Structure 1
Amino acid sequence: MAASILIVEDEESILELIAINLHQAGFNPIRSLSAEFAEKIIQKNLPDLIILDWMLPGMDGVEFAKRIRGSSTTRKIPIIMLTAKSEEDNKLKGLNIGADDYMTKPFSPKELIARIKAILRRNAPELVNEPINMNGLELDPIKYVLTNNDKIISIGPTEFKLLNFFMSNPNIAFSRNQILDKVWGNKSDIDDRTVDVHIKRLRDTLKHTGQHSLIKTVRGLGYRLEKIENS
């Protein structure tokens, strides 16, 4: 489940540089040359993180960041400000309007990727695309492979996403609606009974390894994955 990263940058060479590095790191880059076009993108699909240039034609990055933070729909989307403004006052201004991080140009693409992963680990660890080892299972989001003791386990794409979410957030109980939001996204045609169907399929898949009982039903709420200590 690749994280979608919206890049709002008016210099096309920098935009492409960032997009290429994001793609190589396993992310899904979304390009925008202006804040106005970025707003249209966000209205259709919410990104998992925004890389935002300060100096933009029309609406600048500061004003756009204020709009993002001022909306209940978008206020939780992480923002990394990327700008040539290196003065401390500008950095403080960027952070004070709600940016999660601030990088100055010229910048290191590797450092940018590292900062993106650090933010996603805090906010949505299932989107970082790093292998997860837990309870004798290894899940690799990049290779899209689930193994147990080096043996590949056949698993459906939705069950893979569901297990990725649970393994990234062990021992936390989630409601069906929370699971729908995190795994399926904004799909209004899907109801919470869909979660029950795929939980059953996931348990059936894990029966072959004996770990099916680790997916716990939380009465009156939803489900959680129980992490075994030292695993």
Structure 2
Amino acid sequence: MKPHKLTQFLLYQLYHARVLLHSNNGKEEQIHEFRVTLRSIRSLVKLFLNDVTPFPKILKTAMQETNSIRELDVLINTLKRSQYPKLFKHLKKLRKQSVKTLFTPQYHTKTLLLIEEYSYLISQYEPDFISEILIQKVLTHYQHCLDSYLALESNATPKMLHQLRIEFKDARYGFEFLEISDLHQCSEVIAHCKELQNMLGSIQDTVNQIDLLKKIYLEFPSPEVKELLKKQKKVLQKLKETTQSELSVSI
């Protein structure tokens, strides 16, 4: 019997994650795609299978261990090498060290085994959802996200905004699954989820970058880092004002 579309999709994503990890060479695109693949699996499991085959906490931890590398990549991509030559060089060196420290043979072996074990678990469970139920589950979650967004106060904390961003991300991955599986056309609502994700997450992303720069300044106290920290703090203040204004309009 042909596996359920949800099972097929999850097994393919898990296989793709294994391939990405097995061939990992430390490049930004590869690490980012590995993270996105695991995150999409986690979102779909939360939406459809959380009660029967929850996403393993230990696999979530393995994914989170790549966070620091991702933050470095984001920071490097925002810099002009000509404007911050010394900092750029330091960040490249720091990233190289971080990749070498994390992606050891032990990490690869452990994480590949975790993915294989979870793939087996997923393959043993056959969901009984008809297409209409899958669609309804995603639509219900999306409506919950919209209701939560409209209920936000203009002084909502970055943590609250970030949490709602994650909820919209779950909805987006759910809609992407429905569209790829030819169950429901969702291109417009996917775009809307991405738009709200970016707005809700911009403050937390900037907070993360400021925290990272503060840590870097402790070991590399250069004028370039100090200047960039000052700029990022101004960006954060402007983002807070813009977000508060947008939330006030939406209420």
Between structures 1 and 2, the one with greater helix share = 2
Normalization by structure 2: what TM-score?
0.28
Point out which structure has higher relative CO (alpha carbons under 8 A, 6+ apart).
2
